[in-house]
Chains A and B, each alone.
Chain A
Amino acid sequence: MEDAELAQAAARGDPDAFGHLVDRHGLAARRAARAILRDEDDADDAVQEGMLAAWRAIERYDPARPFRPWLMRIVVNAALDARRRSRVRQAEPMAESLESSGLGPDRMAEAALLRGKIDAGLATLPERQRVALVLFDAEGWGHADIAEALGVPEGTVRSYVFHARRAMRKALGSLAEGMK
């Protein structure tokens, strides 16, 4: 069943239909929220808040338009709101693992180092650039859907992805070149 059909069933009061939509898009929403907030608990709370807001507003969804960006826009806004609320504490969840991973040759250490570099790279980006990068490269979304989810023109999304990739290349440094 298509997203729009499930959304229409949900609008008629069927929570199971919305549950299917949660299954389809919940993890992408979680990744986008974690990219914005960089804190696991805050991100999960924001996704839940966004999903509940979407469930309550499902009657206002226009089935003629794609569902995925509509939902993601609500979740992204919830995450951005949470980010503003918790601006005072800047989460650096990967810093510890980067320090404790050491420079050992084993795979775990390499993975931890890579995670640290990705996190450091994401940390240099504004929130919307992070989301654009995640939706484009990790989720495979097109520019148009990302533009709708972020409420910006497509050209702006291209610019976001451009700058985000450049920053990530810089952050990953030799790791990026080595994996090319």
Chain B
Amino acid sequence: MTMSPFDHEPDEELGRMLREQLTGPAPEAFLRRLRGSIVDSARGNEWDVLAVWARPRVMAVAVAAGFLLWLGAWMASTDRPADQGVTMASLPAHTMVLPRVSGQDEFVNAVLDGR
């Protein structure tokens, strides 16, 4: 061991002692754990990427489904009364008024009053 602070070359003896001191137990297992954490992180990232990719598409599908539901409901509501409404609207106004039976109001009032 040279241990000279001015030496510009690594001190092999001090280096060996430091490696023995600092390498720690089970170096292979340690490296295996590190690699495993990287792989786990990579898998996590894939799911994150998938989630980021899926989010706007789920929103788009939801919007499209909502639009289709609204369109279906609108078409269903416009199909049925369309002809009838047009026919009724095209009739002269006097045909829309029911014929009035004379004395009807007096009769109804008498029934309601219990007379």
A residues at B contact (CB < 8 Å): 13, 15, 18-19, 22-23, 26-27, 30-31, 34-35, 40, 43-44, 47-48, 51-52, 55-56, 114-115, 118-119, 133-134, 136-140, 161-163, 165-166, 168-169, 172, 176, 179-180
Q: Are A35 and B22 in contact (CB under 8 A)?
A: yes
User: CB-nearest residue of chain B relative to A161?
Assistant: B5
Who on chain A is nearest to B11 by CB? A137
**Contact assessment for B3 and A118 in the assembled complex, using a CB-CB cutoff below 8 Å:** no
CB-CB nearest 7 A-B residue pairs: A31-B22, A138-B18, A15-B42, A137-B15, A165-B5, A162-B5, A19-B35
Interface hit among B26-34, B68-76, B95-103: B26-34
Provide the residues of chain B in CB contact with A15, threshold 8 Å. 38-39, 41-42
Extra contacts, 11 of them, besides A137-B11, A176-B3 (Cβ < 8 A), are: A18-B38, A35-B18, A44-B33, A51-B37, A51-B38, A55-B42, A118-B17, A133-B18, A137-B15, A138-B18, A165-B11
A48 touches B17 (CB 8 A): no
- Seen from chain B, the residues whose Cβ lies within 8 Å of a Cβ on chain A are 1-7, 10-11, 13-25, 27, 30-31, 33-35, 37-39, 41-42, 45
| Secondary structure of the B contact surface, majority rule | helix
Return chain B residues, CB-CB under 8 Å to A44: 24, 30, 33
Partner of A34, one of B11, B14, B22, B31: B22
Closest CB-CB distance, A53 to chain B, in whole Å? 10
In the assembly, what is the distance between CA of A139 and CA of B3, in Å? Answer: 16
Q: How far is the CB of A178 from chain B (nearest CB, A)?
A: 9
Residues of A within 8 A of B35 (CB): 19, 22-23
- Chain A residues with Cβ below 8 Å from B33 are 44, 48
Known: A115-B21, A134-B22. A22 touches B1 (CB 8 A): no
Task: Report Cα–Cα, A43/B2, bound state, in Å.
Answer: 29
A18, closest chain B residue (CB): B38
Q: A162-B5, A180-B1 are in contact. Are A137 and B31 (CB under 8 A)?
A: no
Q: Given that A51-B34, A118-B17 are contacting pairs, would A27 and B27 also be in contact in the complex, using a CB cutoff of 8 Å?
A: yes
Q: When the two chains form their complex, are residues A165 and B4 in contact, meaning their CB atoms are under 8 A apart?
A: yes
> What's the least CB distance linking B52 to chain A, in Å?
15
Q: Which residues of A contact B2 (CB under 8 A)?
A: 180
